[in-house]
Amino acid sequence: MENTSTMEIKVGIMGYGNLGRGVECALKNAPDMRLAAVFTRRSPENMKILTPGVGVYRAEEAEGMTDALDVLILCGGSATDLPVQTPKYARLFNAVDSFDTHARIPAHFAAVDAAAREGGKTALISCGWDPGMFSVNRLYAGSVLPDGKDYTFWGKGVSQGHSDAIRRIDGVLNARQYTVPIESALEAARSGKNPSLTVREKHKRECFVVAEEGADRARIEREIKTMPNYFDEYDTIVHFITEEELKRDHGGIPHGGFVIRTGKTGKNGENSHVIEYSLKLDSNPEFTSSVLVACARAVHRLNAEGNVGCKTLFDVPPAYLSPLSAEVLRRTLL
Amino acid sequence: MENTSTMEIKVGIMGYGNLGRGVECALKNAPDMRLAAVFTRRSPENMKILTPGVGVYRAEEAEGMTDALDVLILCGGSATDLPVQTPKYARLFNAVDSFDTHARIPAHFAAVDAAAREGGKTALISCGWDPGMFSVNRLYAGSVLPDGKDYTFWGKGVSQGHSDAIRRIDGVLNARQYTVPIESALEAARSGKNPSLTVREKHKRECFVVAEEGADRARIEREIKTMPNYFDEYDTIVHFITEEELKRDHGGIPHGGFVIRTGKTGKNGENSHVIEYSLKLDSNPEFTSSVLVACARAVHRLNAEGNVGCKTLFDVPPAYLSPLSAEVLRRTLL
């Protein structure tokens, strides 16, 4: 592949953690894109990236490199990084992020939209799987079956937030928490009977905990199970294991889930339908990165058409995510 | 609901069979649309429709009613009706169809595109579930996981074409054929091992046949199982039943299927992912009708924006299928 073609979309990565490295890997499978720069808050001198010949820069240098990039992919976290970074850089670059704090999306959208319009740029926010591919599936399903009901289940997968919460308990050295959808609730959702499912009925929480030697395990287990917001509304299972077992059996970051919509059609709603979308992911950050890269392609095209401001996947024609031409897509995928 | 609001999208139905009746029912769940006219090749005088106060007209009258409709939904068949009707009416109306002969989509697209551009109208073709919702899912999944493989399975569901083929056999009074995906093939597709699956391994065919009294059932069964293109490449099961049993147990038109993509990510493709989309439909035509109605909303909006010519669901931002505002969609579904 010719790496210097001016036709290729030049992509920058802001933040080189799990997500940033995933974007770098995903770009290798994008024939129409290439990695042009990586920005980091660490010391660029001490950082090695996977792609030969690509420069690593201090985050502050990005502002001076607007001509070197077509799209900047923001790979920070939703808690503190993205609320600042995406509005900041959306004024200077076409930008993509995976902002995933659902309740704060309207405020984030407004801030990014104002910045992008000011700079004549296009931004695409919340491009992961939830929000992201799950949201798109909720939208299609609800539009096709308006007389119906949605259910979203998450897991089986690692929740970083819940794992962190356990690690903050006195006497805990390390922990891994899995969110697990409950099979009977999945079946009830698919049944079309529109059941009302409580938080406890939909998911359970399974925790693998490494405790300090001599720590009071009964207390730790009690503190986990009664922790407000995180665990008290769920049935929670706690396993104590060694650090070696944790490393060996729980080193991955798998995740996934289900979006199910059931709905009725006909003269008197006599026919039922079930639409189900599911993901089973070995690596949560790498799948999110793969969505980000497809979205970078779309944002570049939207901006080339003069469609500026903040967008979400709801606003993007699906064809814009693909490197294939409209004619090839119609012939091979329709 | 105010039925005379000029804000409502006025929809016409061309063809009042299973699909047309399904569109009529689906429109009742669309707060922003109303049925304005039904066109038929039968005698309008002898036809009763479900919606009070809506006129039924001869198909030829449509051409004189361009001002009365915002969108015309074409509810004919793909074999002979739509190849003529969609290009004909796409010059006069914003139009939607469910053309589903995959191999002929490029030719159909070209004919409809020329007509729509000539008339300054917008058309959306192949709006059902395959082509349609399945196609969109193949596109999203392939864009996000380019290093992967697609599998589409159909059923369990009634194939009208295969049922008709059995009915043409000497001694057969009636028949119903179900296409059934084979569970072991579904599991192999989900495994991520990229198996190559033969036609016989993916689906089996199950036939319920009403034979004439005294007919040679062994010959009928043999003729079914060896029928070229329809059955000879499949494992086929034949059951002989009575007309009463057929009516009682096989009167519905269920269908559905699965779109599965597995793909790899990471430095060396070390992580696997499975994306699965499935439909389980009580009524194939009513679900297709529900897609057509959502697409009529989109085509009206595309035309209002000056985006003329022929489109497919690949070209439509998902938000255009929904009656909800972009702001409400972001807040509630993202």
B181-224 confidence digits (pLDDT tens):
999 999 999 998 889 999 999 999 999 999 999 999 999 999 99
Q: In angstroms, rounded to a whole number, what is the distance separating the alpha carbons of residues A182 and A196?
A: 14
Q: Which of B27, B271, B331 to mutate to test the interface with A (most CBs of A within 10 A)?
A: B271
Task: Tell me the per-residue pLDDT of B133-174, one tens digit each, with 9 for 90 and over.
Answer: 999 999 999 999 999 999 999 999 999 889 999 999 999 999
- Partner residue opposite A147 with nearest CB, options B29, B190, B274: B29
Instruction: Please answer yes or no on whether A290 and B265 come within 8 Å at the CB atom.
Output: yes
For strands B255-265 and B271-281, give the pairing: antiparallel
Instruction: Specify the pLDDT at position B4.
Output: 42
pLDDT of residue A46: 87
How many CB atoms are located within 10 Å of the residue B269 CB? Answer: 14
pLDDT at B3 > cutoff 60: no
Buried b (16+ CB within 10 A) or exposed e, A193-202: eeeebeeeeb
Hey, of A273, A315, A328, which one would you mutate to test binding to chain B, going by the most B CBs within 10 A of its CB?
A273
pLDDT tens sequence across B278-304: 999 999 999 999 999 999 999 999 999
Residues of B in contact with A290 (CB under 8 A): 144-145, 265
Decide: A176 and A196 in contact? Cβ < 8 Å.
no
Chain A contacts in chain B segment 193-222 (CB below 8 A): none
- The band of B46, judged by pLDDT with boundaries at 50, 70 and 90, is confident
CA B71 to mean position of chain CA atoms: 18
Mean pLDDT (chain B, rounded): 96
Residues contacting A153, CB < 8 A, separation 6+ = A181, A185, A186, A189, A202, A203, A257, A258, A260
pLDDT at B2: 38
Closest residue of A to B322, CA-based?
Answer: A143
Residue A24 buriedness (CB in 10 A; 0-12 / 13-18 / 19+)? buried
Does A186 lie at the interface with B, CB-CB under 8 angstroms? no
**How many CA within 13 A on the CB side of residue B298?**
31
Q: Do A282 and B273 touch (CB under 8 A)?
A: yes
Does residue B313 register a pLDDT over 50? yes
> Distance between CA atoms of B90 and B71, rounded to whole angstroms?
10
Whether B153 and B191 have beta carbons less than 8 Å apart is answered as: no
Residues in chain A with pLDDT values less than 50: 1-5
* Residues in contact with A289: Cβ distance below 8 Å, sequence separation at least 6, in sequence order: A19, A20, A21, A22, A23, A25, A26, A75, B265
In percent, the amount of chain B with pLDDT more than 70 equals: 98
Indicate the DSSP class of residue B177: E
Q: Verify whether the Cβ–Cβ distance A131 to B319 is below 8 Å.
A: no
Cross-chain residue pair B321–A139, CB shorter than 8 Å: yes
B101 touches chain A (CB under 8 A): no
Calculate how close chain A gets to B312, using CA atoms only, in Å: 8
List of E strands, B17-171:
33-40, 55-58, 71-74, 94-96, 122-124, 148-154, 157-158
Q: Which is nearest to B299 in space by CA: B289, B290, B309?
A: B309
pLDDT digits (tens, 9 = 90+) for B100-116: 999 999 999 999 999 99
Backbone angles phi, psi at A304, to 5 degrees: -60, -30
pLDDT in tens, A136-186: 999 999 999 999 999 999 999 999 889 999 999 999 999 999 999 999 999
Q: In this complex, which of B139, B278, B319 lies closest to A276 when CB atoms are compared?
A: B278
Residue A309 φ/ψ, nearest 5 degrees:
105, -175
Q: Which of residues 37-96 of B touch A (CB under 8 A)?
A: 50
Record: contact A281-B273, CB cut-off 8 A: yes
Please give the residue of chain B at the shortest CA–CA distance from A128: B144
Per-residue pLDDT, A192: 86
Instruction: Quote the CA–CA distance of B115 and A152 in Å, as a whole number.
Output: 42
The verdict on a CB contact (< 8 Å) between B286 and A274 is: no
Q: For residues B148 and B142, give the distance between their C-alpha atoms in angstroms, rounded to a whole number.
A: 7
Chain mean position to CA A42: 23
Q: Is A32 within 8 Å of chain B by CB?
A: no
Q: Which residues are within 8 A (CB) of A20 and not within 5 positions of it... i.e. 6 or more apart?
A: A13, A14, A38, A73, A75, A289
Print burial letters for B131-152: b (CB count within 10 Å at least 16), e (below 16).
Answer: bbbbbbbbbbbbbbbbebbbbb
A294 neighbourhood in chain B, CB within 8 Å? 143-144
Give the other-Cβ count within 10 Å of B101's Cβ.
15
Of chain B, the end-to-end C-alpha distance in Å amounts to: 28
Tokens of A321: 């995510």
Task: Report residue B7's pLDDT band, with 50, 70 and 90 as the boundaries.
Answer: confident
**pLDDT of B1 above 50:** no
Backbone phi, psi, residue B270, to 5°: -80, -15
Specify whether the CB–CB gap between A231 and A205 falls below 8 A: yes
Instruction: Determine the Cα–Cα distance for residues B98 and B288; give it in Å rounded to an integer.
Output: 8
Chain B residues 237-276 within an 8 A CB cutoff of chain A: 265-267, 271-276
Structure confidence at residue B6 as a pLDDT band (50, 70, 90): low
